[in-house]
């Protein structure tokens, strides 16, 4: 087993620290969760991708790996490539172990069954045929009610709580954002800058631009997601154009947890 290191995105002149690192896991002749744990902790990966279709075909091995990731508290978000419609149990343990995104290569008669499981556990997904051609290019969108059901189904999963908080914000249900966001942070959602960014979005929506600016400054340290820098530019532009004096609403951009796997 080895992990290829890739730079997610350069932070540019406005960033702080080094660029975030994404790891691509390839099992090769073998390996263990201990090897992955060592690589993640020593090299500082912010996300992983398991890029071997065959690995998840072995149900027992895949379930064991996901359970070991939780036992070792390997708190990292990840994606996987799979060429089967997994059992409900496997999809559930994958999600609980931090899996946010799945790339699936399936026969056409398997797609509907796969989508039902995907939506049940809140994955982001790309489904292609066996030649790699996507069946549809449209992204899956979840309603607030679906996000609520997923968070209730997986109450101990920080990512489900965080995505619910984002869904409330996007629906302008601002008073409801803090409860799931607080749960996500208590459960140690691994991308703290996305939590701070969402708090900044909420501050801007409630007309506290100074609070939003301070939160975005905090979110900007380390290896932050690009949304932080986009929002800092939005805030700066809004201030320079006199938006605060003209009464122009400042709307900042939130991101779901799955976005850490899709901005390479």
Note the pLDDT of residue 207.
Answer: 92
Q: For residues 26-41, give the mean pLDDT.
A: 78
Q: What angle do CA 95, 73, 64 make, to 5 degrees?
A: 55
Q: pLDDT band for 264, please (50, 70, 90 cuts).
A: very low
256: nearest Cα among 139, 90, 105, 91:
139
Note the pLDDT of residue 29.
Answer: 59
Are β-strands 2-7 and 21-26 bridged in parallel, bridged antiparallel, or unpaired? antiparallel
Q: What is the pLDDT of residues 133-161, one digit of tens each?
A: 888 655 688 999 999 999 999 999 999 99
Note the pLDDT of residue 30.
Answer: 67
112 versus 9: which is more confidently predicted? 112
Given a contact cutoff of 8 angstroms between Cβ atoms, the answer to whether 192 and 178 are in contact is no
> How far is 176 from 11, CA to CA, in rounded Å?
32
Q: What is the pLDDT of residues 63-95, one digit of tens each?
A: 999 999 999 999 999 999 999 999 999 999 999
Give the C-alpha distances (Å, rounded to integers) separating 21 from 49, 111, 153, 234: 11, 32, 31, 26
Q: What is the pLDDT of residues 6-17, one digit of tens each?
A: 655 544 444 444
Note the pLDDT of residue 53.
Answer: 81
Residue 22 pLDDT exceeds 90: no
Q: pLDDT band for 259, please (50, 70, 90 cuts).
A: confident
Q: pLDDT band for 206, please (50, 70, 90 cuts).
A: very high
The Cβ of residue 122 has, within 10 Å, a number of other Cβ atoms equal to 25
> How far is 75 from 101, CA to CA, in rounded Å?
15
> How far is 148 from 151, CA to CA, in rounded Å?
5
Q: For residues 228-232, give the mean pLDDT.
A: 95
> How far is 243 from 190, CA to CA, in rounded Å?
34
> How far is 180 from 148, CA to CA, in rounded Å?
10
Domains and CATH numbers, the chain: 2-128 (3.40.50), 144-261 (1.25.40)
Q: What angle do CA 91, 9, 157 make, to 5 degrees?
A: 30
For residue 212, the cross-strand partners are none
6 versus 210: which is more confidently predicted? 210
Q: pLDDT band for 19, please (50, 70, 90 cuts).
A: low
Among 18-32, 56-70, 77-91, 201-215, where is mean pLDDT lowest?
18-32
Note the pLDDT of residue 62.
Answer: 92
Q: For residues 225-243, give the mean pLDDT.
A: 93
Q: Please list the alpha-helical segments (H only) found in the chain.
A: 33-43, 59-71, 88-96, 111-121, 144-153, 158-170, 178-186, 192-205, 209-219, 226-240, 243-246
* Percent of residues, the chain, with pLDDT higher than 90: 63
């Amino acid at each position: 087993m080895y992990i290829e290191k890739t730079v997610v995105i350069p932070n540019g002149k406005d960033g702080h620290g080094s660029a975030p690192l994404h790891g691509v896991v390839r099992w090769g002749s073998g390996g263990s969760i201990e090897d992955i744990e060592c690589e993640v902790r020593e090299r500082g990966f912010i996300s992983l991708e398991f890029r071997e279709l065959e690995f998840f075909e072995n149900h027992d091995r895949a379930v064991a790996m996901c359970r070991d990731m939780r036992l070792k508290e390997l708190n990292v978000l990840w994606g996987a490539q799979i060429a089967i419609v997994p059992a409900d149990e496997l999809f559930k343990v994958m999600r609980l172990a931090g899996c946010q995104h799945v790339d699936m290569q399936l026969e056409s008669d398997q797609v509907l069954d796969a989508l039902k499981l995907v939506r049940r556990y809140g994955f982001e997904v790309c489904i292609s045929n066996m030649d790699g051609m996507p069946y549809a290019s449209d992204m899956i969108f979840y309603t607030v009610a679906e996000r609520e059901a997923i968070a209730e189904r997986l109450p101990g999963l920080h990512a489900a709580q965080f995505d619910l908080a984002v869904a409330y914000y996007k629906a302008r249900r601002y008073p409801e954002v803090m409860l799931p966001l607080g749960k996500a942070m208590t459960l140690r959602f691994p991308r703290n800058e996305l939590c701070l960014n969402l708090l900044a979005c909420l501050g801007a929506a409630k007309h506290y631009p100074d609070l939003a600016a301070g939160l975005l400054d905090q979110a900007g340290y380390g290896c932050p997601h690009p949304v932080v820098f986009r929002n800092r530019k939005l805030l700066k532009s809004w201030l320079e154009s006199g938006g605060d004096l003209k009464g122009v609403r400042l709307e900042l951009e939130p991101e779901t947890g799955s976005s850490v796997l899709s901005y390479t």
